């Protein structure tokens, strides 16, 4: 049936309401002709013959009378083929680079389908990012979803670029490695920065870019990460590629969701976000992983800016509950000139326990990581004390912790944007820093490992 409906019943924000619609199905796509212009929309609620439609291109210029609407009879599907590599697409997956249409090999529903847990392969393979703080303390694992929690004005974009440039995935090569980059509500310069960096890194032809910029329609932002992940799943599960997905900025995405929810008149829960924010974010983040018997993988690095640097804000909070850890960037460190300003204490990688140690990185890695966390936590206590009684008054041991803390931040966390350290260098560096502390303080490390690796600064013959 290909009926055309003339006019609308109501327009509210990005939503329009059409009356008298027959045979509409939930989440079906519609074409809305406004004069000569064609816009796309999606049915998000059906009530008898009344449909609520969200319009991807926005509702400006639409009146109750000037539209003709046609149902397309199918949900939003994305045309896909291996040609998408190296292409720049808009937030809905339509080419914007002027290189012509994509000749599709397959159409896939952008909502994807949940992976059956029985068919998932538990991620175990370590991805070396060449960044000490990440590799050593919150190791990225292939098939993981590890977000970067950042704040405004922090170098999360540089960090993402550095990860992409340096990431070494075991048994991945030029041929089967791809990057899917989705920008949601980011500024033009930011998108440009990523594009430029990909070009400089010589990986531009391995990248699929989805761009929904800050001034692009809000509704389109809702489907951008879904289109990107559909492309990633296609490359990973149909074309056996290892795909690294970067989603930035998830905060803009969640805000778009809130905007639409409020236009629909839904009951808000925390901070005005809809009650289904958790489920909705999960439907994005859970689309990472490895399928049993498959050769490809989808690894996600979503980036989000914490509003007001508040980690308990609903967006980072719910994200943290879904993702497998988080890399938290910290303003204080950034102000002190530490790059990358990774605040290691609240940062975590849930999957690292099974992807490090003997056979993966090095046998001492788990213990060293634990010890660094514990000792650095102790440094924070000592610093709090020093701020009250002054550093001079500290005990000898506490002074050693102060030194360790400084060295840890200046040498281990701090790293040049172009510096790449392999895992052995990272671990050796960690041992050198632990040498600042007396052996007895290293209670997270077994005597056997201590015996093999511990170096005290005296033996080293130099003061750090």
Partner 1 sequence: MSETSHGIIYGINGPVIKVRGNYPFKMYEMVLVGNEKLIGEVIRVLETETIVQVYENTTGLKAGETVTPTGKPLTIKLGPGIIGNIFDGIERPLTRIAEETGAFIKRGSSMDNLDTDKLWDVRIKVKQGDTVKPGDIIAEVDETDSVVHRIMVPPYVEGEVIEALNDGSYNINQVIVKVKEGKTIHSLTLVQDWPVRQPRPHKERKHLDIPLITGQRVIDTMFPIAKGGTAAIPGGFGTGKTLTQHQFAKWSNADIIVYVGCGERGNEITEVLEDFPNLIDPRNGKPLMNRTVLIANTSNMPVAAREASIYTGITIAEYYRDMGYDVAIMADSTSRWAEALREISGRLEEMPAEEGFPAYLPSRLSEFYERAGRVENLNGTFGSVTIIGAVSPQGGDFSEPVTQNTKRFIRCFWALDKSLAYTRHYPAINWTSSYSEYIEDLTDWYKENIKPDFMDKRTRLSRILQEETKLLDIVKLIGSDILPEEQKLVIEISRVIRQGFLQQNAYNEQDTYVPLQKQYLMMDTILKLYDRLQKLIPLGIPVSVFRNAGVFEDVIRMKYTIRNDDLGAFDTLNENLNKVLDEIEADYKDAERKND
Residue 286 beta carbon to partner 1: minimum distance, rounded to whole angstroms: 4
Window 31 to 70, contacts with partner 1 (CB under 8 A): 45-49
User: Which of 7, 13, 17, 24 touches partner 1 (CB under 8 A)?
Assistant: 24
Q: Which helix (H) or strand (E) holds 333?
A: helix 331-335
Output 26 or 417, the one with its CB closest to partner 1: 26
Residue 75 as a binder of partner 1 (CB under 8 A): the answer is yes
User: If DSSP codes are grouped into helix, strand and coil, which group holds residue 105?
Assistant: coil
User: Which of 326, 414, 415, 426 touches partner 1 (CB under 8 A)?
Assistant: 326
Number of residues located near partner 1, criterion CB under 8 A: 86
Output 53 or 186, the one with its CB closest to partner 1: 53
User: Which of 19, 192, 358, 393 touches partner 1 (CB under 8 A)?
Assistant: 393
Distance CA 100, CA 54 (A): 27
Output 52 or 180, the one with its CB closest to partner 1: 52
Residue 210: which of 76, 75, 41, 87 has the closest Cα? Answer: 87
Residue 381 beta carbon to partner 1: minimum distance, rounded to whole angstroms: 8
Residue 346: which of 317, 366, 368, 322 has the closest Cα? Answer: 317
Distance CA 419, CA 416 (A): 5
Output 115 or 134, the one with its CB closest to partner 1: 115
Residue 150 beta carbon to partner 1: minimum distance, rounded to whole angstroms: 17
Window 261 to 320, contacts with partner 1 (CB under 8 A): 266-270, 274-276, 278-279, 282-283, 285-287, 289, 291-292, 294, 311-314, 317, 320
User: Which of 37, 38, 60, 122 touches partner 1 (CB under 8 A)?
Assistant: 122
Residue 190 as a binder of partner 1 (CB under 8 A): the answer is no
User: Which of 31, 121, 238, 422 touches partner 1 (CB under 8 A)?
Assistant: 121
Distance CA 328, CA 412 (A): 16
Listed in sequence order, the residues at least 6 apart from 462 whose beta carbon sits closer than 8 Å to its beta carbon are none
What are the two backbone dihedrals, phi and then psi, of residue 425, each rounded to the nearest 5 degrees? -60, -45
Output 190 or 385, the one with its CB closest to partner 1: 385
Distance CA 39, CA 176 (A): 36
Residue 237 as a binder of partner 1 (CB under 8 A): the answer is yes
Residue 17 as a binder of partner 1 (CB under 8 A): the answer is no
**What torsion do the CA atoms of 164, 167, 169, 173 make, to the nearest 10 degrees?**
70
User: Which of 9, 106, 119, 336 touches partner 1 (CB under 8 A)?
Assistant: 119
Residue 18: which of 2, 32, 34 has the closest Cα? Answer: 32
Burial class (CB in 10 A: 0-12, 13-18, 19+), 459: exposed
Residue 73 beta carbon to partner 1: minimum distance, rounded to whole angstroms: 10
Residue 261 beta carbon to partner 1: minimum distance, rounded to whole angstroms: 9
Window 415 to 454, contacts with partner 1 (CB under 8 A): 440, 443-444, 446-447
Piece of the chain touching partner 1 by CB under 8 A; list 60-68, 88-96, 108-116, 179-187: 108-116
Taking each helix axis from N to C end, the angle separating 277-285 and 250-263, rounded to the nearest 10 degrees, works out to 140
Residue position matching structure tokens 């290189």: 99
Residue 61 beta carbon to partner 1: minimum distance, rounded to whole angstroms: 28
Listed in sequence order, the residues at least 6 apart from 39 whose beta carbon sits closer than 8 Å to its beta carbon are 31, 32, 33, 55, 56, 57
Beta strand segments in 152-262, E: 168-169, 177-186, 207-213, 242-248
Residue 101 beta carbon to partner 1: minimum distance, rounded to whole angstroms: 26
Output 206 or 436, the one with its CB closest to partner 1: 436
Window 350 to 379, contacts with partner 1 (CB under 8 A): 350-351, 353-354, 366, 370, 373-374, 377-378
Residue 359: which of 129, 145, 170 has the closest Cα? Answer: 170
Piece of the chain touching partner 1 by CB under 8 A; list 111-119, 213-221, 332-340, 415-423: 111-119
């Amino acid at each position: 049936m290909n009926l055309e409906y003339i006019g609308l019943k109501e327009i509210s924000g990005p939503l329009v309401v059409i009356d008298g619609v027959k045979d509409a199905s939930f989440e079906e796509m519609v074409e809305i002709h406004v004069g000569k212009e064609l816009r796309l929309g999606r049915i998000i609620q059906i009530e008898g013959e009344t449909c609520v439609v969200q319009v991807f291109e926005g509702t400006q210029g639409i009146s109750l009378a000037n539209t003709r609407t046609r149902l397309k009879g199918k949900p939003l599907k994305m045309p896909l083929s291996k040609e998408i590599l190296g292409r720049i697409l808009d937030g809905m997956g339509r080419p914007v680079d002027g290189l012509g249409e994509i000749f599709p090999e397959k159409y896939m529903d952008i909502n994807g389908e949940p992976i059956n847990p029985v068919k998932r392969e538990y991620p175990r393979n370590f991805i070396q990012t060449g960044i000490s703080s990440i590799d050593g303390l919150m190791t990225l694992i292939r098939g993981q979803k590890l977000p970067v929690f950042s704040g405004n004005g922090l170098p999360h974009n540089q960090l993402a670029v550095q990860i992409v440039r340096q990431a070494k995935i075991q048994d991945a090569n030029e041929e089967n490695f791809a990057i899917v980059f989705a920008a949601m509500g980011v500024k033009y310069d930011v998108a440009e920065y990523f594009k430029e960096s990909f070009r400089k890194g010589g990986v531009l032809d391995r990248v699929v870019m989805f761009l929904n910029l800050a001034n692009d329609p809000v509704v389109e932002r809702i489907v951008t990460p879904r289109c990107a992940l559909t492309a990633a799943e296609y490359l990973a599960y149909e074309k056996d590629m290892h795909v690294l997905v970067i989603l930035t900025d998830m905060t803009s995405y969640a805000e778009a969701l809130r905007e639409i929810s409020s236009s629909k008149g839904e009951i808000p829960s925390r901070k005005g976000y809809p009650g289904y924010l958790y489920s909705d974010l999960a439907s994005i983040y859970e689309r990472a992983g490895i399928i049993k018997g498959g050769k490809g993988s989808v690894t996600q690095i979503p980036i989000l800016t914490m509003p007001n640097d508040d980690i308990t804000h609903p967006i980072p909070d719910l994200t943290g509950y879904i993702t497998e850890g988080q890399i938290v960037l910290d303003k204080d460190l950034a102000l002190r000139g530490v790059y990358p300003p990774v605040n290691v204490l609240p940062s975590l990688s849930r999957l690292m326990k099974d992807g490090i140690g003997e056979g993966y990185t090095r046998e001492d890695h788990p213990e060293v990581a634990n010890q660094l966390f514990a000792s650095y936590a102790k440094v924070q206590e000592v610093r709090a004390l020093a701020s009250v009684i002054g550093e001079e008054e500290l005990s000898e041991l506490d002074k050693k912790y102060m030194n360790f803390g400084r060295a840890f931040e200046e040498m281990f966390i701090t790293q040049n944007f172009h510096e790449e350290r392999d895992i052995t260098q990272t671990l050796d560096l960690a041992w050198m820093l632990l040498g600042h502390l007396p052996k007895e303080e290293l209670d997270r490390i077994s005597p056997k490992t201590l015996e093999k690796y511990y170096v005290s600064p005296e033996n080293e013959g130099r003061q750090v």
